[in-house]
Structures are given as C-alpha cells and as structure tokens.
Chain A
C-alpha cells in the first residue's frame, strides 16, 4: 500500500515537472522566434531575455524536483545576473549604432564602419 501511495505521488510530481518544463519550452521557442522575426534591435534583445529566462525556469524546476540540493538555484542566480550585464552591453551597442546610423533596423547593420 505504501508503495502504491509513493507511486501515485511520484506520478503527480512527474506531471508537475513536465508542465514546468513545457512552460520553459514555450518561452524558449517564443524567444527564438522573437529573435528571428523582430527587426528592431531592442526586440532581439527582448527575445534573448526570454530564452535566458526559460533556462532559469528549468534550473529552478530541477532544483525543486531532484535530490541535488539547491545547485540549480545557484545557477539560476548566475543566470539572472549575467543577462543583466548582457543587456547593459547590448543597449550600449544599440545606442552607439543608433547614434551613428540614425536607425535601429538590424537589416541595415551590415557594415562594421560608417
């Protein structure tokens, strides 16, 4: 009987882990499609944020559902701090490009120098 109860609990938790991973998959695909379709440089940055956020969600889900302690949460903290730095650099580059070319259309960003 105890074994049966444990199996049922495992199955419900299994469903929850699967649903969290599916949410992460939807966010990841949305980020990839956003990076592919947006022509505004800031839109591409937004897509990158979505992709990184999906990876953070997977890290936290595995930290919760597996017996490996909270290593996943530590990785998720790195995954929050590093995109902040990435966003700062990317916005500096976008502003530089806007100052030089008076546009943020990435289709016109095909030359290294003015």
Chain B
C-alpha cells in the first residue's frame, strides 16, 4: 500500500502532463471541427487553459500566470465580445463546403506529417542537457529573472556567457509598450461609433 502511494506521488507530474496534453490537443481539434462559432470560442478557452497548465509543468510559472490573465482573461473575452456583437442568425453557424474541408484536411495532414517527421527525426539529445532541470528548479520563481531581463540587467547563473554590456530585453520591452499604446488608440479609432454612416445606410 505504501509503495502504491509512493509510486502515485512519484508519477503525478506524468499524470498531470498527460491530462493537460489531452485537454490541449482534444480541445484544439474541437475548435476546428465545430461549426458553431460560439462553441469554437469556448473550446479555445479550454485549449488556452490547458496550455497554461503545460507552462506551469514546464517550470514557467510567470508565463503560465500571464497566459491565464491576459490570454484567457483578456484576449478571449475580446473574442467572445466580437462573437456576441456580430452573431446574428446565419452567422453563428456558417457551413463550410465539403470540398474545402477535404482540401484543408489534406493540407493539414501533410503539414502535420512534415512537422512530426522533422520533430521525431531530430537528435534532441545534443540540445537537451542534464543541468536544465536543476536550473529551473533552483531558480523556481522565474519572476525575478524575467524582470531583470526586461529591465536590461544581465541575468546571473545562466549557463550561457553573456555580453556584459548587453541590455537584455530592454529595447523590445519599450517597443512593445509603445506598440500597445498605438494599438489602443488605433482600435478605438477603428471601432468608434459612426452615426452618420448608419443614417445613410
């Protein structure tokens, strides 16, 4: 009995990984297969949540939390609002023709075969190193490291020797922040209410 409990405790990362992987893969296939746009949005919700669980299992705690906050909490709400604002009668369910389905299935299967062949035939052992797991365990909250990188401080304890004068990700971080401001103004400009246009129509 004790050995059974020990083996269960020892194998819970694998079990969690299997659950998250099945959730992600199954729900992403369901996004494609379903014809109802509202259901596709809901399946996308479960796909993104499963991916966040995979991020947690891969030692990326801050990225997983950001995925839940921004992707599931923000972007998906935007998509669902878009569905609600445009869903009127026939647009909820728009059928795809069977010829298009066949073409897309063939292209998708060929693409997946190519990707999986290149993944399985690559010798990842040269890339994967034993220290990688130990590193991500001892630096367990990755928030400090990520914040230092975004502020331009070179990270300590990284296996790769860095240029000491390097500025990390300071410049992309600033560009992204300005980009978000531009996007906010642009989206507000594009989606503003146009009363006169409505009256003409």
Give the docked Cα–Cα distance between A96 and B86 (Å).
11
Contact A46 B104 (CB under 8 A): no
Q: Is the CB of A46 within 8 A of B79?
A: yes
Residues on A facing B (Cβ under 8 Å): 6, 9-11, 13-14, 16-23, 25-34, 36-43, 45-47, 49-50, 53, 56-57, 60-71, 73-74, 76-78, 80-85, 87-89, 91-96, 98-100, 103-105
A25-B116, A46-B41, A57-B55 given; name 7 further pairs at CB < 8 Å. Answer: A13-B130, A20-B58, A34-B31, A42-B79, A74-B146, A76-B60, A77-B62
At the interface, yes or no: B46 with Cβ under 8 Å from chain A? no
Interface string of B131-152 (1 = CB under 8 A from A): 1110110010010011001100
B94 at the interface (CB under 8 A from A): yes
In the bound complex, how far is the Cα of B48 from the Cα of A30, in angstroms? 13
Main SS class of interface, A: helix
CA distance A13 to B70 in the complex (A): 30
Q: Please name all residues of chain B whose beta carbon is closer than 8 Å to the beta carbon of A49 when the two chains form the complex.
A: 44, 48, 71, 75, 79
Please determine whether A53 and B51 come into contact, CB atoms closer than 8 angstroms.
yes
Give 13 CB contacts A-B under 8 Å. Answer: A17-B128, A30-B28, A36-B108, A46-B31, A46-B40, A69-B145, A73-B146, A78-B176, A80-B67, A80-B71, A82-B176, A91-B191, A98-B85
Does B8 belong to the interface (CB within 8 Å)? no
Q: Which of A14, A31, A46 is in CB contact (< 8 Å) with B128? A: A14
Task: Give the complex CA separation of A83 and B51 in angstroms.
Answer: 15
Nearest CB in chain A: distance from B16 CB, A: 12
Q: Which of A10, A32, A92 has the most CB of B within 10 A?
A: A92
Question: Interface code B7-26, partner A: CB below 8 Å = 1, 0 otherwise?
Answer: 00000000001000100110
Partner pick for B82 among A10, A32, A94, CB 8 A cutoff: A94
Residue of chain A at shortest CB distance from B111: A29
Distance of A89 from chain B, by nearest CB (Å): 6
Q: Are B47 and A50 in contact (CB under 8 A)?
A: yes
